[in-house]
Amino acid sequence: MKIPEEALLLRIFIGESDSYEGRPLYEAVVLRARELHLAGATVLRGPMGYGRSSRLHTAKILRLSEDLPLVIEIVDAEDRINMFLVELGPMLGSALVTTEKVRVVQYGTNGG
C-alpha cells in the first residue's frame, strides 16, 4: 500500500470505557479502519486528561481510573480519511475528532 506524501492525520479522543455495539470503541474504530484498508491506526493511552465535562481522568496510584483517555491516530490520503469520517459518525458519542495535514516522510521500509 502506498500513501501520498501530503496526507491527513485523523485524531479521535475518547475514553477507555467508551463502547460501540458491545466492544470497546477504540477496538471497533481500529477494526473498521483495517476493514477499509486504511494505511494504519494506533491507539495511545494517556495517563491523565479531561474533556468537555472537565472531569479529570488519571492513572495515579491513589486515584485509579477505569476510564483513562485514549487517542486513536490514523494517517492516510485526505479523501480516504474523509470517507472514513462518514463511517465513524454513528460510532462516536462524546468524542473529540480532529484532522491536520501532515507530510509522510516514510511508510514502511526504504528498501521497498
pLDDT tens across 26-75, in order? 999 999 999 999 999 999 998 778 777 777 766 665 555 567 899 999 99
- pLDDT (average), residues 74-82: 97
Mean pLDDT of all residues in the chain? 88
109 found inside a domain: no
**79 Cβ partners below 8 Å, 6+ apart?**
none
For residues 9 and 102, the answer to whether their CB atoms sit within 8 Å is yes
Q: How confident is the model at residue 108, as a pLDDT?
A: 83
Position 112 pLDDT exceeds 60:
no
Q: How confident is the model at residue 59, as a pLDDT?
A: 60
110 found inside a domain: no
Q: Domain range spanning residue 29? A: 6-103
* Cell numbers placing 100: 491536520
DSSP string, 12-24: EEEETT-EETTEE
Amino acid at position 98, single letter: T
Q: Is the dihedral of CA 99, 68, 86, 33 positive or negative?
A: positive
The model carries a pTM of 0.86
CATH number at 69 reads: 3.30.70.120
Our count of domains for the chain comes to 1
108 found inside a domain: no
72 found inside a domain: yes
For helices 25-35 and 78-88, angle between their N-to-C axes, nearest 10 degrees: 130
